[in-house]
Structure 1
């Protein structure tokens, strides 16, 4: 048999030519399409290559058939040569001249020539042909013959032209058919791919828009297939995402009760305004507004009505700001209006762009305060709240948004302290005071941890006998330097920072310790300790008091806790629940600063108190205010009817002491009997105080009688 890959060189040439043609057509088609080149080019190349391979396969099959036919023809030629030689009766080595003549005849007739190395042409018959071999290096055929003289070989060279003549007539029709088939198929494939890739291109562009957060993008495909269903699904998904994002943005940056921008949006706008200042000159003001009497409305009407009131306040505030912008600067009102936001429960913020100077924010603040001072109608009720304002200007008052916001808060704090309905601009003095308060807070925290809060004792004197029957424990801060700091310098800071509870507990512990020491000396005295509102609202208040008393080994009956009238009247039922367990153990309770609040007589009769303390402002009015004696007599009469003990604070003169004694007041304390002093000094002077006070009161009584 013939070796295939050596015979079909023309077929290989046809194959590579066809493949190059297909690749060139695919490349040209791909270059003609500017969009989605990779995808469409690959589709086109795949289809064109498939068609080309199919055509080449047909060609090769036909080549194989043609070559087989050629091989059969060669076999027939070899057989005819053998027959011719046999008929020529060449049984002996022929002469050279006869060989040349015979070969010439065969070459002219058959297109065959003898190989150069063949020693001779031997006679053979068709029956003697044993095999035909194809030489691997050449296009030569060896015909093996055998007879009684042994095997002989006939070497023949295959004529290429003769082979082409045998093969090409069978190949070229198939090649023409393949080229025509490709020419018809490629445009159809290109049209199909164009339709598909157009839809895919639209989907791809749509996906890019969606990934760039353009959630309003939509795609419109009318292909009637799965791509249209996919496009519709994408549209539905984006509509839901768009709605969800808008809802999330609304929740994140809009206050639900007032529909105003919330604190987060307000801070974001402040930062943006500060960045704008870095790029260009200008200024803006931050105004913080706090409703003055909103807490009382909230407590009286409830949270639901309070939220409705906030909505009305927000509407009026927004209207007032818009009107103020138009009055102060009509240009700014259109291009860069003031931002109004709700930043806390009853606190609003204004971000005011300033075109000229800070006075613009002052005029706007006056308009806003005046608008909020007007009554509100809510479900038939007339409500008046009012507001206070604090203003800070950036960059004048602060270099960054955080500092500017703190400055406005500090200014608002001062406005609230002045009674409400005020406007305060931030000043450097406010900043210095704030720094001082911050320093006090830091040192106070450390002082509490180091046990620097101690109790000083002021004597309480029995007006009838002149004896010291007790003392009030008052907080003092003994710093590490030995300096004694009075309460006025730190109590307000402690109340604002929540440290008042720790201070009250420290004073209670120190007072119980020294009261136990005084009692152990043979002079048991009752000690009174003030309890702050923060302490009293603590659920563990009862357990804390009992633990401190037991640790000090103090008789429960020697401890008196003083609660302000406002705390006592805030929730009488709960106050009674907190007091009863301690009173059952012997602890006494007193209402401090009685007469300064709004006590209900009905509530007073239900509260289990032991003592009324008459506030120092009433005692100070004796001899100066004609109403003071009447008020004191009324309090004393009320205490007598309720079987309460009475203690008068702030007694500084003998006349005051004599008046109180005549009107039936039981106990008095004040500078007349002694200033608060350290426990060691108080204990050392206790005996002397009792003797002196007795003589003093006797003298005062005689003077009053005379």
Structure 2
């Protein structure tokens, strides 16, 4: 059993060495350095080498000509310390921290080297020549190990090692191959060295079962054992390549297998001009070298696989999977860099926050698969609309960010700070205008064309903020302002917008609490017969009371409920509560109808008709007593899908009303295709009719047409007696507005109904 002296200072590494080398006699007794022949191998780290260098040198001299191998362990950053030591004071180097399998392999190699050198020392009297050969081989082994250790690529490892074998050892030719599992079972040549011209292309190595695979290379791959041919010209296995062997003056060869991976066998092949050129000891030593080559290749491939995995992870971390654009994390990194470089390099930038107008409609109505395809097209179009030096990233959802970097602005060109601001503003305006205009063009998906718009917010660095990380937030605020003005436009950030955004955020937070606490109220506004003054129906309207007794305007909070999806929860509450209230009211007025508004987001719920029918049933109401109002614009948003939903609601017994009629630009033919029973004429027509004959004519035409189509007509916004008189003259018999009453709580509604009529006359 080989005796190994471990002089490693780290206790954890000493324990790992003991566990790994359990089949060896491992000692840490430093006194062994003073005894010739006491140990077969010394393992040291940098500190131990520095401390015991003289003693180790003396002991190695005493052992000569037998080798006393020294294995030096170093951190990767200190590998340069081993330069000049390998082959002189040490035989091999390992990187700390080490892998047990690699340690065991290297120790086995070095112990075998020790055994061979001791054996040769004992036979020195018989064979001085063999010792010199082994000495050269041993030196070559050490130098090749150093090359393997320092190689940073497969090509460098293989080429440098083969060049060393051919140049210093005197081999005629050397190459390394890798067995392939293709149909021919060919051997791929990874590297070669030596003056052998096109030998390998002529012999075309293989490890198949045919005659071409019966040479030493093929047998080494199949058996995993070294193959030696002492006389190539007379060997039967070289019969197919006799001409090539003669041409290149090869006499003997050695093939050494090396297991590159669990399922890939490699070979190291050496050729000499001399017959019987390879001694048993040299074959053994070169076998160890081939194993080290395999370890080196595996380590390089593992490192490359790790590098690629890290690179792939980084790409995933900084890339949006759907569009391939940089993502939110990438934006963060770029703005962090901009902050770091701004003071030193005078950097400037503009950030454009782009939100797609109309995308939610497409995504909700046609599904996420179509929406994803549209987003990919949007990403490509945006990249074509910005400057070459600009970056387009996806923030998330249907939001994108454009980063426009500017190098240090020339004071001679732009002047003072105001000039810089004007320069940035002009550049950002140009790009923003291109985006707004470019996004209006249709997006083709198959045979369909989809129309979108873009609301763009712009912030400038360092003019709007000295912190680049704030730019997307400020641009986002500006974008919301552009969207609130109707969208399809761009808006620069200003301090006033910041205050408005803060109010918007606060309002949204208050809304979340209100939904959780059910802090809303329902108010009701009657629909009145203009001839009799009797109430025909009541419309339920959502109100949000405040602690001070005031009410938040519906136009201030309803869009937010719609935007963040809370309208679904609130809408369910409205429907249940309104049905309960109207059931009570119908105990006194049995023909009273309830009118409720539904948004597109509510209508797109797959189970909506069945759920509403269940609520009505539990409340004890007939479905015909409930009129569901949908705005004309909503009905035209996705006509085919809307028609299906409305038909389903109608089949469940509900009446359907077109709200805000006259504002959605729908054709009467299209409306006739929908199962509606009531038109609510938008109040703007009544206001215009008092002064504009055309508006009055339109009301008259609609009023004349609706009875023939079996439709009811309700005029909204009736505010004075003159308007009521006009409506009656034009043929409209139903109205709703402040002339009769403002929207009121349920208790007030009950009092109002008691005052105005004892029975509701059906229309």
State the TM-score bracket (shorter-chain normalisation). Answer: 0.5 to 0.7
Could you say if the C-alpha distance between residues 642 and 490 of structure 1 is closer, same or farther in structure 2, counting changes exceeding 3 Å?
A: same
Note if 1:607 corresponds to 2:670: no
Mapping 1:626-645, distance limit 5 Å: 626-645=693-712
Greater shift in the superposed pair: 495-504 or 224-233 = 224-233
3-state SS of paired residue (1:34): coil
Give yes or no for contact 1:216–1:239 (8 Å, CA) kept in 2: no
Query: 1:660 maps to which residue?
Result: 727
Greater shift in the superposed pair: 497-506 or 674-683 = 497-506
Q: State the superposition RMSD in angstroms.
A: 4.5
Give yes or no for contact 1:612–1:644 (8 Å, CA) kept in 2: yes
Measured after TM superposition, the shift of residue 385 of structure 1 is 7.4
Deviations 1:276-296 (A, max 9, x none): 448776553322245668889
Q: Which runs of 5+ in 1 are unaligned?
A: 1-12, 57-177, 323-336, 695-706
Counterpart CA distance in 1 for 2:117 and 2:561 is 92
Counterpart CA distance in 2 for 1:400 and 1:378 is 37
Flag the structure with more relative contact order, 1 or 2, with Cα contacts below 8 A and sequence separation at least 6: 1
Mapping 1:178-327, distance limit 5 Å: 180=125, 186-206=131-151, 209=152, 219-220=158-159, 221-222=161-162, 223-224=174-175, 225-226=256-257, 229=267, 230=294, 253=318, 261-277=326-342, 282-290=347-355, 310=378, 313-314=381-382, 316-318=384-386, 321-322=387-388
Counterpart CA distance in 1 for 2:469 and 2:332 is 9
Give yes or no for contact 1:508–1:529 (8 Å, CA) kept in 2: yes
Deviations 1:190-238 (A, max 9, x none): 32123333333333323xx47xxxx997742434444674477888888
Query: 2:518 maps to which residue?
Result: 451
**Partner of residue 503 from structure 2, selected from 436, 450, 455:** 436
Measured after TM superposition, the shift of residue 256 of structure 1 is 8.2
Deviations 1:52-91 (A, max 9, x none): 57877xxxxxxxxxxxxxxxxxxxxxxxxxxxxxxxxxxx
**Partner of residue 405 from structure 2, selected from 335, 344, 353:** 353
Mapping 1:558-573, distance limit 5 Å: 558-573=625-640
Q: Radius of gyration: which is bigger?
A: 1
Greater shift in the superposed pair: 567-576 or 602-611 = 567-576
**Partner of residue 339 from structure 1, selected from 388, 391, 397:** 391
Counterpart CA distance in 2 for 1:256 and 1:470 is 52
Could you say if the C-alpha distance between residues 390 and 578 of structure 1 is closer, same or farther in structure 2, counting changes exceeding 3 Å?
A: closer
3-state SS of paired residue (2:636): helix
3-state SS of paired residue (2:507): helix
**Higher helix fraction: Structure 1 or Structure 2?**
1
Counterpart CA distance in 1 for 2:427 and 2:598 is 44
Measured after TM superposition, the shift of residue 359 of structure 1 is 3.4
Aligned residues: 537
Could you say if the C-alpha distance between residues 189 and 279 of structure 1 is closer, same or farther in structure 2, counting changes exceeding 3 Å?
A: farther
3-state SS of paired residue (1:621): helix
Note if 1:23 corresponds to 2:63: yes
3-state SS of paired residue (1:612): strand
Measured after TM superposition, the shift of residue 461 of structure 1 is 0.6
Mapping 1:434-513, distance limit 5 Å: 434-480=501-547, 482-513=549-580
Q: Which runs of 5+ in 2 are unaligned?
A: 1-34, 39-57, 71-81, 94-106, 163-173, 176-255, 259-265, 268-293, 410-419
TM-score (norm 2): 0.60
Could you say if the C-alpha distance between residues 451 and 612 of structure 1 is closer, same or farther in structure 2, counting changes exceeding 3 Å?
A: same
Give yes or no for contact 1:532–1:563 (8 Å, CA) kept in 2: yes
Give yes or no for contact 2:626–2:654 (8 Å, CA) kept in 1: yes
**Partner of residue 366 from structure 1, selected from 426, 429, 454:** 429
Deviations 1:136-157 (A, max 9, x none): xxxxxxxxxxxxxxxxxxxxxx
Give yes or no for contact 2:462–2:468 (8 Å, CA) kept in 1: no
Could you say if the C-alpha distance between residues 216 and 29 of structure 1 is closer, same or farther in structure 2, counting changes exceeding 3 Å?
A: closer
**Partner of residue 85 from structure 2, selected from 4, 11, 34:** 34
Query: 1:135 maps to which residue?
Result: none
Measured after TM superposition, the shift of residue 567 of structure 1 is 2.4
Measured after TM superposition, the shift of residue 458 of structure 1 is 1.1
**Partner of residue 616 from structure 1, selected from 664, 670, 683:** 683
Measured after TM superposition, the shift of residue 583 of structure 1 is 3.7
3-state SS of paired residue (1:539): coil
Counterpart CA distance in 2 for 1:14 and 1:309 is 79
Query: 1:425 maps to which residue?
Result: 492
Counterpart CA distance in 2 for 1:517 and 1:383 is 47
Deviations 1:235-269 (A, max 9, x none): 88888888887777666656689875455433332
Give yes or no for contact 1:340–1:351 (8 Å, CA) kept in 2: yes
Deviations 1:538-574 (A, max 9, x none): 1221233123223333343322111111222334444
Counterpart CA distance in 1 for 2:352 and 2:563 is 22
